[in-house]
Chains A and B, each alone.
Chain A
């Protein structure tokens, strides 16, 4: 994992190897960053979870030709919001308007539900050299 903290003013930017084992260290770094910014426990827990889900998806569905490309994670905070961006090199997906929980017996398909449930707004930007999931959380006080 490579840190580029200087690249984003007052934020944190990480480049993760496209590997599930790299996701937890990255979300732990996010947790420490959010704590250093005075975020509440609720904000930290929910952002850590949503970021893990987004990064897991970015790794699991990466295009074969892009496996050597990093997953870029950017986090910034303001007094009222937390913004997290996760770049991916997948074929992309359609973001549902509302969180939809899959069948209770399903072993997968809950990642986007979790993200949409804990974030104030989520958008998915498609690009020629990769896509970006932008997640915005309204900060709450514990």
Chain B
């Protein structure tokens, strides 16, 4: 997992899986490194697996930045991950962006 800072945004990438046994690591790392930044970009381009615990983690991060009027964007989800986001209506909650500039 990789974390980069881009201005007011913390970007997470190289996430292989986001499941019950792995989502906690993402949550902890983001909380530790978020500082006073407003926004979080989570690049799921390399994520082959997500379950409902992973989705719960994304919701938790959304609440974290909502307090500071920030947003969580989900970038480049693979088709299988996008399908689960759609099934659970997370495409109504998160801005999902492919190939951001």
Contacts and interface: CB of A to CB of B under 8 A. Distances in A.
Do A and B actually bind? yes
Interface of A: 20-21, 23-24, 45, 48-49, 52-53, 56, 59-60, 101, 104-108, 110-111, 113-114, 117-118
A104 B89 contact: yes
B92 interface: yes
A114 B19 CA distance: 14
B20 A23 contact: yes
Output the residue of A23, A45, A108, A110 with the most chain B CB within 10 A: A110
A105 B63 contact: yes
A111 B53 CA distance: 8
A106 B90 CA distance: 11
A56 B59 contact: no
Interface in B47-86: 49, 51-53, 55-57, 59-60, 63, 80, 83-84
Contacts of A21: 21
B93 interface: yes
20 contacts: A20-B21, A23-B19, A23-B21, A24-B17, A45-B83, A52-B20, A53-B52, A56-B20, A60-B20, A101-B88, A104-B90, A104-B92, A106-B59, A107-B57, A108-B53, A110-B56, A110-B88, A111-B51, A111-B52, A118-B87
A108 to B, nearest CB: 5
Contacts of A20: 20-21
Contact of B51 (A52, A101, A104, A106): A52
A23 B51 CA distance: 12
Given A24-B21, A117-B87, 9 more contacts: A21-B21, A49-B84, A56-B52, A101-B89, A107-B59, A108-B52, A108-B53, A108-B56, A114-B88
A48 B49 CA distance: 9
Given A104-B92, A105-B63, A107-B60, A114 B87 contact: yes
Contacts of A53: 51-52
A53 B54 CA distance: 11
A51 to B, nearest CB: 10
B93 A56 contact: no
Interface in B6-22: 17, 19-22
